[in-house]
Chain A
Amino acid sequence: MLSDILVHGLMNGAVYAMLAVGFSLIFGAARIINMAHTAFFMLSAYFIFYFGTTLALHPAIAMPLSIIVVVAIGVLVYYVFMEPVREHGTAVLIVTVSLAMVFQELILISFGGHYRGVNSIITGFVSPMGIRISYQYLLTLGVVSLSLVIVWLVLMKTRLGTAIRASAQDREVANLMGMNVAWIAVATMAISVTLASIAGVMVAPLYTLNPHMWLSPLVLVLAIVILGGLGSIKGSFIGALILAFIEVTVVFLMPGGAFLKLAVALAIMLMILVIRPEGLFGVYLEGER
């Protein structure tokens, strides 16, 4: 029981962290609440289904291919639809929600509404402490953790990372210091979609695919991001682990847990928010009140 909770909590936490960090990044750099973020996750899961299962390409080709395609779509969509309405906070919301709906409907039309499965990249499992952990789980955990570490290094050690963090802290001043804020936002969008896409590609074999699979992760990602503090990468990471473990614990320990998992996770998020209104690691920027 305990080891089950540990394994599933870590796994879900890592995937949620991938999504939440990407969401947080684009919020920081462009002040866009990107409701279509998890739709990119859904898109890449379907692309890996199409390339890997329908066209039967080798995973080593299919995976990078799906990621590249989805990132290209993401950047294009950012240029065409999000960037022009960026100044109108509420319009951005609806533009991104309707983008997600457009993706959902396109998938629904081209793949149909029924549940799909993707073959695992590697089969087999190990069973330490009497629980089965498939290799796909371990691989996903490994890739996801590695990507998170890489993003962390990029953000902390490179010029681009510094620029992203600077524009997240104060866009105007970053602009005045001679950074190309618009270009940074595009680069951030690319990174953010890449993270969502890697998560989608890795998780596809573990989940069942359906065109509505963006909605429930979206709710969780939103909860994680505000729990951790908007724009804070560390916050998103820790928030993801907290909410994932709460969810898994509720599923395993409470009767009717599958229905209540989201409710309990959100209730705990609200309680934390009442104590710390800016999230665990967020800060209010006085200039943007």
Chain B
Amino acid sequence: MTAIGIALRYFRNEILVLPTRLIAVLFVLLLIFLPLLTRDMYILRILSIAAIFSIYAASWDLLSGYVGQVNFGHAFFFGVAAYTTALLNLRLGLSPLITIPLGGIASVLVGLLVGIPCLRLKGPYLGLATLAFPIMLTGIIFAFPEFFGGELGISGIARLASSRLNEYYIVVILMLVLCYIMWKITDSKIGIIFHAIREDEIAVRASGINTTKYKLLAFCLSGFFAGIAGGLFTHFLRVAGPPMLAVLMSFQAIIWSIFGGIVTIYGAVVGVFILFPALEFLRAAAEYRMLIFALIVLLVLRFMPQGITAFFRDKLERECPRCKVRNAITRKECRVCFSGMK
């Protein structure tokens, strides 16, 4: 009785008060209960891939949005994990339960590899230098086709789970858990330091914080989450190929995150869940598909340069001028300090 009461009160006092929180909860519930409404394999497949890409895009936001280390080569983490899981599964016959975490760890190591030389670089230099890594790896993959499968990639990898429905639940629940972890990381003390490094690195260093350590930590964390996404994707599609390392793959993470709204984590998820299904449904207009897609991204960012979530959040909610707590736009007075909202 009391547990339900507390839950209900929490729901009323913490979730119902803000429209964006309500939308977030409804979205999570919809994802979890969707298979009750439809068993359409096509829809489940699209949403599963969108969930995997959400982890990937959110991990980009963690590194580039929060810490400000704009990474143009995020596909490197994704691709390294994809190839690691694929090779481990195919050559050693390990199960996805082991290969996916190992892929994540491989990406952490690779994150260190990228992070250490790039620590000295700043701003655009860093971004453009990171672009080099996936391209170099692609060159190596093409140069040794016997081991890496060349242009066709590595196929014949074990399935993630026995049925599409199980795969959907594994992927969606992992996505929710991992994105929640990322969100909590950015909400913690580490997250505050990440914010500060982005805003003024020299000031942070002057406050006695070892920024090098935190920047490397960001590279490793981001690499780990992107790596998990890469491993999941490999086992889901049952193939690991050079497109996972392509320049376009890196750009896609950036497009999704910036479209959704940078420095939010949830923005990346929103971006993927809008743009990825949109791109799929545009298959109806086969020839104009990419054109429409690019135009949508172009126009949305032209008129909402802070991303779609920031734009609509400011339409639905307002910050209390006195205590800085967010309130629904309909409220006349702040829900915490009761001062007028004008």
- What residues of A have a CB within 8 angstroms of the CB of B315 in the complex? none
Task: Tell which of B129, B131, B139, B298 touches A99, judged by Cβ atoms closer than 8 Å.
Answer: B298
- What residues of A have a CB within 8 angstroms of the CB of B259 in the complex? 94
- Answer whether residue A90 sits at the interface, using C-beta atoms and an 8 A cutoff: yes
- A residues 240-289 near B (Cβ < 8 Å) are 256, 259-264, 266-267, 269-270, 273-274, 277-279, 282, 284, 289
Which of B36-44, B153-161, B227-235, B299-307 forms part of the interface with chain A?
Answer: B299-307
Which of B99-107, B114-122, B331-339 forms part of the interface with chain A?
Answer: B114-122
Which of B16-24, B51-59, B283-291 forms part of the interface with chain A?
Answer: B283-291
Closest to A102 in B: B294
Q: How far is the CA of A90 from the CA of B307 in the complex (A)?
A: 10
* Pair A256/B143 contact, Cβ less than 8 Å: yes
- Answer whether residue B247 sits at the interface, using C-beta atoms and an 8 A cutoff: yes
Task: Tell which of A91, A215, A284 touches B258, judged by Cβ atoms closer than 8 Å.
Answer: A91
* Pair A85/B143 contact, Cβ less than 8 Å: no
- Answer whether residue A21 sits at the interface, using C-beta atoms and an 8 A cutoff: no
Closest to B142 in A: A259
- Answer whether residue A93 sits at the interface, using C-beta atoms and an 8 A cutoff: yes
Closest to A81 in B: B302
Between B122, B128, B138, the greatest number of chain A beta carbons within 10 A of the residue's beta carbon is seen for B128
Q: How far is the CA of A278 from the CA of B125 in the complex (A)?
A: 7
- B residues 132-178 near A (Cβ < 8 Å) are 132, 135-140, 142-143
Task: Tell which of A81, A222, A256 touches B298, judged by Cβ atoms closer than 8 Å.
Answer: A81
Closest to A231 in B: B124
Closest to A221 in B: B128
- B residues 233-252 near A (Cβ < 8 Å) are 247-248, 251
Q: How many residues of A contact B (CB 8 A)?
A: 49
**A263 to nearest B CB, angstroms?**
3
- What residues of B have a CB within 8 angstroms of the CB of A105 in the complex? 288, 290-291, 294
- Answer whether residue A163 sits at the interface, using C-beta atoms and an 8 A cutoff: no
- Answer whether residue A226 sits at the interface, using C-beta atoms and an 8 A cutoff: yes
**A111 to nearest B CB, angstroms?**
13
Q: How far is the CA of A109 from the CA of B138 in the complex (A)?
A: 29
- Answer whether residue A126 sits at the interface, using C-beta atoms and an 8 A cutoff: no
With A94-B255, A226-B125 in contact, do A277 and B143 touch (Cβ < 8 Å)? Answer: no
- Answer whether residue B254 sits at the interface, using C-beta atoms and an 8 A cutoff: yes
* Pair B302/A85 contact, Cβ less than 8 Å: yes
* Pair B132/A269 contact, Cβ less than 8 Å: yes
- What residues of A have a CB within 8 angstroms of the CB of B255 in the complex? 94, 97-98
- What residues of A have a CB within 8 angstroms of the CB of B258 in the complex? 90-91, 93-94
Closest to A224 in B: B128
* Pair B294/A222 contact, Cβ less than 8 Å: no
- What residues of A have a CB within 8 angstroms of the CB of B325 in the complex? none
Q: How far is the CA of A202 from the CA of B12 in the complex (A)?
A: 68
Q: How many residues of B contact A (CB 8 A)?
A: 45
Q: How far is the CA of A266 from the CA of B291 in the complex (A)?
A: 31
**A192 to nearest B CB, angstroms?**
16
- What residues of B have a CB within 8 angstroms of the CB of A269 in the complex? 129, 132
* Pair B125/A91 contact, Cβ less than 8 Å: no
With A88-B306, A98-B297, A105-B290 in contact, do A223 and B202 touch (Cβ < 8 Å)? Answer: no
- What residues of B have a CB within 8 angstroms of the CB of A273 in the complex? 117, 121, 125, 129
Q: How far is the CA of A93 from the CA of B138 in the complex (A)?
A: 23
Q: How far is the CA of A87 from the CA of B117 in the complex (A)?
A: 29
Q: How far is the CA of A132 from the CA of B297 in the complex (A)?
A: 47
Closest to A109 in B: B287
**B224 to nearest A CB, angstroms?**
23
- Answer whether residue A26 sits at the interface, using C-beta atoms and an 8 A cutoff: no
* Pair A91/B121 contact, Cβ less than 8 Å: no
- Answer whether residue A219 sits at the interface, using C-beta atoms and an 8 A cutoff: yes
Between A27, A91, A98, A219, the greatest number of chain B beta carbons within 10 A of the residue's beta carbon is seen for A98
Q: How far is the CA of A219 from the CA of B294 in the complex (A)?
A: 20
- Answer whether residue B295 sits at the interface, using C-beta atoms and an 8 A cutoff: yes
Q: How far is the CA of A270 from the CA of B136 in the complex (A)?
A: 11
- What residues of A have a CB within 8 angstroms of the CB of B70 in the complex? 90
* Pair A263/B125 contact, Cβ less than 8 Å: no
- What residues of B have a CB within 8 angstroms of the CB of A256 in the complex? 142-143
Q: How far is the CA of A261 from the CA of B135 in the complex (A)?
A: 10
- What residues of A have a CB within 8 angstroms of the CB of B202 in the complex? 289
Q: How far is the CA of A223 from the CA of B93 in the complex (A)?
A: 39
Residues of B within 8 A of A (CB): 64, 70, 117, 120-122, 124-125, 127-129, 131-132, 135-140, 142-143, 200-202, 247-248, 251, 254-255, 258-259, 262, 287-288, 290-291, 293-295, 297-298, 301-302, 305-306
**Can you identify 21 A-B contacts, CB atoms within 8 angstroms?**
A84-B305, A85-B302, A90-B70, A91-B305, A94-B254, A94-B255, A97-B255, A98-B255, A101-B294, A102-B298, A230-B124, A230-B125, A260-B143, A262-B135, A263-B139, A266-B132, A266-B135, A266-B136, A270-B129, A277-B122, A289-B200
